[in-house]
Copies of this chain bind each other. A is one copy, B any other.
């Protein structure tokens, strides 16, 4: 599938010029060039009037001095010089520019931003006051040092942030937990490319399976809802709105100079647009990694399988509180479980395999539970510290993907546990450090199940086939996103 959009040039340019490239380690213009060099396979042109070579790359005194065409410019120079550079970019027929430079509306300098906006006609601009983009397989413009901020592997989460710091901190967290992203974009002050256009873009991007958005304000509410409504029918969108209280709204004004608007208005807009609202930072991360890697939950019927009774109880509490039902397994399943489980285990949902469970016990129990027709999704709690659980448990959990039902894992603990959690994440299995967070992620899968269902078009007459009385809706949404 070929995916054509002018915004593609941000992630897949043929050539990049770095205006403000510096020879001095520690400077932003050096760090950006270093990140691009590490990640990008196309032509790179450092632009610096005083250098002939930076980081082993031939440097040019100006954009116009570059003899070949340039697709993308990354600009990290003083605010007052940005406008002229943009005009030069246009002359050079550069398609898009990422403006890292700050010093515009976010510090009250609205006039300079307006001028920049005017100058920016006929070229696509990202920023200013942003950290640019990261597409693990293509390009990385982030200026945070690689030893301090790890870059994640390729994965299914497309992430749009109006705050560079929020975006990069989550990127770092994702990398350390083994959670992959498709594309990250820091939209900054949005003088041209907005969060809405990026949602539309990621909606069409085949490598993005779920979209996460950090919002402080929305430029055009109507457009935002319309676009999100369309996109959320085909892939899940999770968004957090910062600045929902009086104190928070005032802080938004200090941060980006924008108006945060009414909290209820946002929640209502999210609901209307089919956006799953994250109530805190953790939920942005927790929900999007589930939504990007697991099929939606088609109803609210789940089973909890655990090796720790206490964790099962806490998971059951959270499930009930968010409207998930712990279904009774069918009689055949119960009989099957009783056949091999020790008498002190509990076959009642939450199914407690107890603290001396082996990997085999998990395998047999999970097969029965996943195959049970009453069960639509499974929360697996696996406390990996117990001596009886061998290394096979990670493969057993990976193999549960074959059942096609959504599942999430809770594994609480230190290094040993976290290392195994990373392995599971690499299989596309979302892992959470507490039972409550695991269950809430399952709720997000349930929420998206509802949204996808509601967003389905009535089947067209010619598509109706007499054998199929009704398309199995949850399945088709699953297919799209796997």
Contacts from A to B (Cβ < 8 Å)? 26, 28, 31, 102-103, 106-107, 143-145, 147-150, 161-166, 168-170, 172-173, 175-177, 214, 216, 240, 242-248, 250-252, 254-256, 280-282, 307-314, 316-321, 326, 343-344, 346, 348, 350, 352, 355, 383-387, 412-418, 433-437
A-B contact pairs, 23 of them (CB 8 A): A31-B387, A145-B387, A148-B385, A148-B386, A161-B310, A164-B355, A165-B355, A169-B383, A169-B412, A169-B413, A170-B412, A172-B414, A173-B414, A177-B414, A242-B314, A245-B321, A246-B320, A248-B314, A254-B309, A255-B313, A281-B412, A281-B436, A282-B436
A176 to chain B, nearest CB (A): 3
From the candidates B177, B248, B343, B412, name the one contacting A317 in the complex (CB within 8 A).
Answer: B248
- Cβ contacts under 8 Å, A415 to chain B: 150, 176
Q: Please, which residues of chain B bring their CB within 8 A of the CB of A433? A: 173, 282
Q: For the complex, give the distance between the alpha carbons of A144 and B388 in Å.
A: 10
Smallest CB-CB separation from A282: which chain B residue? B434
- A434–B385 touching, CB < 8 Å: no
Question: Do B169 and A308 have beta carbons less than 8 Å apart?
Answer: yes
Contacts A148-B384, A254-B309 hold; do A107 and B343 have CB atoms under 8 A apart?
Answer: yes
CB of B254 within 8 A of CB of A149, answer no
Contact of A436 among B165, B280, B317 (CB under 8 A): B280
Report chain B residues within 8 Å CB of A255. 309-310, 312-313, 346, 352
Q: Taking CB as reference atom, which chain B residue is nearest A416?
A: B148
- In the complex the two chains form, what is the Cα distance from A192 to B340 in whole Å? 34
Q: Are A319 and B247 CB-contacts (below 8 A) given A173-B414, A383-B165, A383-B169?
A: yes
Q: Using A165-B311, A169-B308 as known contacts, say yes or no to A144 and B280 having CB atoms under 8 A apart.
A: no
B242 touches A313 (CB 8 A): yes
Q: Which of B107, B281, B321 contacts A344 (CB 8 A)?
A: B107
**Contact of A245 with B316 at beta-carbon distance under 8 Å, contacts A310-B255, A385-B149, A414-B172 already known:** yes
Determine the distance from Cα of A316 to Cα of B321 in the docked complex, in whole angstroms.
26
Chain B proximity of A410: nearest CB distance (Å): 9
A103 and B245 alpha carbons, distance in the complex (Å): 52
Q: Interface centre among A106, A147, A256, A355, by most B CB within 10 Å?
A: A355
- Shortest Cβ distance from A436 into B: residue: B280
Bound together, the chains give a CA A244 to CA B319 distance in angstroms of: 11
Query: A313–B173 contact, CB under 8 A?
Result: no
Kindly report which residue of chain B lies nearest to residue A411, judged by CB atoms. Answer: B169
Contact residue among B243, B245, B252, B385 (Cβ-Cβ distance under 8 Å from A169): B385
Return chain B residues, CB-CB under 8 Å to A150. 414-416
A169: which B residues are within 8 A, CB to CB?
308, 311, 383, 385, 412-413
Given A308-B163, A310-B162, A326-B247, does the pair A416, B149 have CB atoms closer than 8 Å?
A: yes
- Set of chain B residues within 8 Å of A321, measured between Cβ atoms: 245
CA distance A252 to B387 in the complex (A): 24
Contact assessment for A165 and B344 in the assembled complex, using a CB-CB cutoff below 8 Å: no
A148 to B214 CA separation, bound complex (whole angstroms): 36
Q: Contacts A163-B309, A344-B107, A346-B255 given; indicate if A248 touches B316 (C-beta within 8 A).
A: yes
> When chains A and B are docked, how far (Å) is the Cα of A166 from the Cα of B314?
10
A147 surroundings in chain B (CB, below 8 A)? 416
B-side contacts of A172, CB under 8 Å: 385, 412-414, 416-417
Q: Report the separation of the CA atoms of residues A319 and B245 in the bound assembly, to the nearest whole angstrom.
A: 9
Closest 5 CB pairs of A and B: A163-B310, A176-B414, A165-B308, A255-B309, A248-B317
Of the candidates B250, B312, B319, the one whose C-beta lies within 8 Å of that of A348 is B250
Tell me whether B310 and A247 are in contact (CB under 8 A).
Answer: no
Contact yes or no, A248 B320, CB < 8 A: yes
- Which chain B residues border A319 with CB–CB below 8 Å? 247
- Across the interface, name the chain B residue whose C-beta is closest to A147: B416
Q: CB-nearest residue of chain B relative to A131?
A: B355
Measured between beta carbons, the chain B residues less than 8 angstroms from A282 are: 433-434, 436-437
